[in-house]
Structure 1
Amino acid sequence: MLNTLLPRQFALDLTSPPQASLDHFLPGQDGALLSTLREIVANWEKRKSLTAQSNALNQRWIYWWGPEGSGRTHLLSALGYAAEKMGLRHFSLGPHEPISWIRLEEELPSFVLSDTPSVISVDDVDRLDERCVGALFRILNEVQASKAIHIFMAGNAAPSSLKLREDLRTRLGWGLIFQTTLLNDDEKILALQQAALERGLVLSPDVLPWLLNRFYRDMPNLMALIDALDAYSLETKRAVTLPLVRELLQPK
């Protein structure tokens, strides 16, 4: 295995990953979840000009769970990005953002009766402390009573297996529930090839199999490496071959 001390070029690239989007998500076994989210996003644009027309709760309330690296956070970020591109209000919540929770609870009543979609995303539900758990319980009650507030939540286990209070676990299951899965090696290679193609980056055939055997195997780090290779290839004016990859990953 390669030394975990990565070169400066790669470390810097990790600080500015490309914007997550549904189009850049390779579903693997998660096609039903991706299809559902795409349909919801398509409906947001239509609903911005509609009035007095409510969505079914299971189209506004979705929880998905799976292991780290299975795309949980990517999908939440992609939905937030899609909402913001349409000019919709988006609130991003997590276990380490207490001010965001307070701000949302203050503003939420003004969105409850609105016909314009608004979006809440909650990451790492399994890691919420007691204060955030209480806030999420109150927020879910408001979402249930609303016309067009959408809430998307992600965690590491099914609602019934989360170590949270029972009334919150029950509410997490009121909408749709999906399980996200890790990509297998062939699917990872396909996703990385797609990412390279989008960047106009040509990889020699032996690069990706070598990386999966010698480098980190999680998709966030692998995708970040594709960006680092893209930048390094442009900087050195060299094709992306194994010698260039080894040079980039050589600890300084």
Structure 2
Amino acid sequence: MPKQLALGLTLPESTNLDSYLPAANQQAVSDLSTCAAGTGEPFIYLWGATQTGKSHLLQAATQLADQAGRSALYIPLDQATQLSPAIFDDLEQMDIICLDDIEQIAGQPDWETGVFNLFNRLREQGKSLLVTAHCGPLNLPIALADLRSRLSWGLCYQLQPLDDNDKIAALTAAAARRGLTLSEETARYILRHTQRDMGSLRRLLKQLDHASLEAKRALTIPFIKAFLNRQTDG
């Protein structure tokens, strides 16, 4: 079952470590896994550019913890305007808390204080905290110096984007999970003619899956070319 989120959202079951290609991020993924299981470093800070899989990894860690029988909560701080810092109250009763996009609360004293106090309570209780951001902890525009210092504790990883060969491997693996066959040549064609970020590529693959099923066609270059032309004409 998908893990319940703050705001009544749910984690998609496909957001797991099996659907994440580590590539140059193998050590970060390994340490994230042991943290989620409760056997590794209790605090991990992940940062990187858009489309490096930060949210994917936090959501996967939440599900891993759940599967290990640990209580876990994923909080997307890009939705902070719909929340209150009171959401942090008593969260030290959970085994692991995942805070996504912490830069979203930077410069907001009540939120910064809330995260600072949560960090301390989790540490006192021997619980785990995973945090993501778009930059390293020392470069965050956090006004509360003690919080910026706390965020520098534990393990810190800059997630590296996938290169073209990694993206081809990720595409073919994602296609295989859908029961589709995608050749390397066809995957390279997709990379040359569409948006290249993994989010867009996964959405395109989902569309191609539906279109190929409806047309009863394999994912060949002519089929994909015709599909993309229809999308452009539409």
Does TM, scored on the shorter chain, surpass 0.5?
Answer: yes
> How far apart, in 1, do the equivalents of 2:163 and 2:225 lie?
24
Partner of 1:102: 86
8 Å CA contact 2:35, 2:128 repeated in 1: no
Query: Where do 5+ consecutive residues of structure 1 fail to align?
Result: 1-15, 45-54, 112-116
2:185 is the alignment partner of 1:206: yes
Partner of 2:146: 167
> How far apart, in 2, do the equivalents of 1:167 and 1:188 lie?
39
> How far apart, in 2, do the equivalents of 1:38 and 1:87 lie?
14
> How far apart, in 2, do the equivalents of 1:100 and 1:215 lie?
39
The structure-2 alpha-carbon separation of the partners of 1:185 and 1:18, relative to structure 1 and needing over 3 Å to count, comes to farther
8 Å CA contact 2:50, 2:134 repeated in 1: yes
2:60 is the alignment partner of 1:78: yes
Partner of 1:122: 99
Deviations, residues 95-124 of structure 1 (Å, cap 9, x unaligned): 31353742331x325x1xxxxx61211111
Query: Where do 5+ consecutive residues of structure 2 fail to align?
Result: 1-10
Q: Which of 23, 30, 37 does residue 35 from structure 1 map onto?
A: 30
Identity of aligned residues (%): 31
Give the total of aligned pairs.
216
Q: TM-score, normalised by structure 2?
A: 0.83
Task: Give the match's secondary structure for 1:194.
Answer: helix
Task: Give the CA deviation at 1:205.
Answer: 4.1
Task: Give the CA deviation at 1:18.
Answer: 6.0
> How far apart, in 1, do the equivalents of 2:69 and 2:211 lie?
35
Task: Give the CA deviation at 1:33.
Answer: 0.5
8 Å CA contact 1:66, 1:157 repeated in 2: yes
4+ residue stretches of structure 1 with deviation over 4 A? none
- Greater relative contact order, per chain length (Cα 8 Å cut-off, separation 6+): 1
> How far apart, in 1, do the equivalents of 2:12 and 2:190 lie?
19
2:202 is the alignment partner of 1:220: no
The structure-2 alpha-carbon separation of the partners of 1:169 and 1:243, relative to structure 1 and needing over 3 Å to count, comes to same
Partner of 2:6: none
Task: Give the CA deviation at 1:38.
Answer: 2.3
